[in-house]
A and B are shown apart, each in its own frame.
Chain A
């Protein structure tokens, strides 16, 4: 399994600002995903980050609000733009290999917007 780290682990941000979350993997992976998890809820897929192409967003999520970068096979960033209190959540990145399809998660970034 891959070892995944996320930065920051938590942050408290002001309304209207933006936060960029970094996800680093210790090995090259094909697929990287970004999820959001509200307290006590399940995970909602935001987008799939593919190296060398634009991210694929799920219904309800747009690039202007959640721009994603994937510059190489071990790193991705998710930016939460123009934040509002409704963006308060845990943001998780995950990775998966094309051969195994098993998905592994980072520890998450706990975001609070005031």
Chain B
């Protein structure tokens, strides 16, 4: 089963615009990660944000985390055609066993038009 749901499912924007995608999850987490997957290729790790963090930046990427609402957002500023990809959030549900695993959200397909 999937822990996270992302919206929108698909997003189409013009180059230079900002793109925002959201991830909601169901249970308490230790951390949350965002990934990019270009068509037919492997997943690229973008950012990890821990449950005690509220915001992280990496280049043109900004991730926020609201644990009270069980949601996260990924903002891509000044988008480029090369940002066209599917974006996934993955959460690490908090457990009592001491182990961890990552459950992926449904994904957002972003298309940046040149």
Q: A22 to B102, alpha carbons, bound, how many Å? A: 21
User: Are A103 and B88 CB-contacts (below 8 A) given A33-B102, A45-B102, A48-B101?
Assistant: no
Range of interface residues on chain B?
A: 20 to 34
Chain A interface size, under 10 / 10 to 19 / 20 to 34 / 35 or more: 20 to 34
Binds B, one of A12-20, A62-70, A73-81, A104-112: A104-112
Q: How long is the Cα–Cα vector from A59 to B42 in the complex, in angstroms?
A: 24
Q: Which candidate, B11-19, B61-69, B104-112, is the interface stretch facing chain A?
A: B104-112
- Counted as pairs of residues, one from A and one from B, with CB atoms less than 8 Å apart, the total is 58
Chain A binding surface SS class: strand
- B42 near A103 with CB under 8 A, answer no
Instruction: Let me know if B48 and A104 touch, CB within 8 A.
Output: no
Kindly identify, within residues 40 to 58 of chain A, every residue whose CB is under 8 Å from any CB belonging to chain B. 41-45, 48, 50, 56
Residue numbers of A with Cβ under 8 A of B are 1, 31, 33, 35, 41-45, 48, 50, 56, 59, 92, 94, 96, 100-108
Residue ranges of B at the interface with A (Cβ–Cβ < 8 Å): 1-2, 30-31, 33, 35, 41-43, 45, 48, 88, 90, 92, 99-107
